[in-house]
């Protein structure tokens, strides 16, 4: 599968993908899916032949980049796109001055996916929008 992954200002496309995956598929309340952090986040959009198929956002705080709202449409799951989006986010974080750590809150059923990409879990399992999560992190080479 051939796709493009890049930072974007097309929040409409990102929000539409997130709505499809988180609100419609996973039952996350719309009021919890979008938040004020979207205004300052770096948004990542994956597309194939011009059609949006995946998204994520990165929040920068001190020496940490927090990846979140990672989603892939059903038709593109199992293709490696999710891993490519995460690698793109890691690359953006690594290219940002002073960023030393990439963190994310993984849905418990996706912990193995993130471990394969080099993340390590820490802390307890917690509920976020009705879904069990665990924090994970990756230290970037200095």
- For the chain, which residues make up each domain, given as ranges? 4-100
User: What's the whole-model pTM score?
Assistant: 0.95
pLDDT of residue 103: 98
- In the chain, the largest separation of any two C-alpha atoms, in whole Å, equals 41
- Over residues 104-134, the pLDDT tens digits come to 999 999 999 999 999 999 999 999 988 999 9
- Over residues 9-34, the pLDDT tens digits come to 999 999 999 999 999 999 999 888 99
Residue 1 has pLDDT above 70, yes or no: no
pLDDT of residue 25: 94
For 47, the enclosing helix (H) or strand (E) is: strand 42-48
- Over residues 78-100, the pLDDT tens digits come to 999 999 999 999 999 999 999 99
For domain 4-100, the CATH architecture is 3-Layer(aba) Sandwich (3.40)
For 94, the enclosing helix (H) or strand (E) is: helix 81-94
């Amino acid at each position: 599968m051939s796709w493009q992954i890049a930072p974007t200002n097309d929040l409409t496309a990102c929000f539409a993908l997130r709505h499809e995956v988180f609100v419609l598929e996973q039952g996350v309340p719309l009021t919890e899916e979008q938040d004020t952090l979207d205004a300052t986040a770096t948004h990542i959009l994956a597309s194939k032949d011009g059609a949006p198929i995946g998204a994520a956002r990165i929040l920068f705080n001190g020496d940490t980049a927090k990846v979140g709202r990672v989603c892939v449409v059903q038709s593109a799951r199992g293709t490696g796109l999710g891993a490519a989006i995460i690698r793109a986010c890691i690359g953006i974080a690594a290219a940002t001055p002073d960023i030393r750590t990439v963190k994310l809150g993984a849905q418990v059923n996706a912990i193995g996916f993130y471990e394969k990409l080099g993340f390590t879990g820490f802390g307890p399992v917690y509920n976020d929008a009705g879904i069990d999560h665990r924090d994970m992190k990756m230290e970037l080479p200095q």
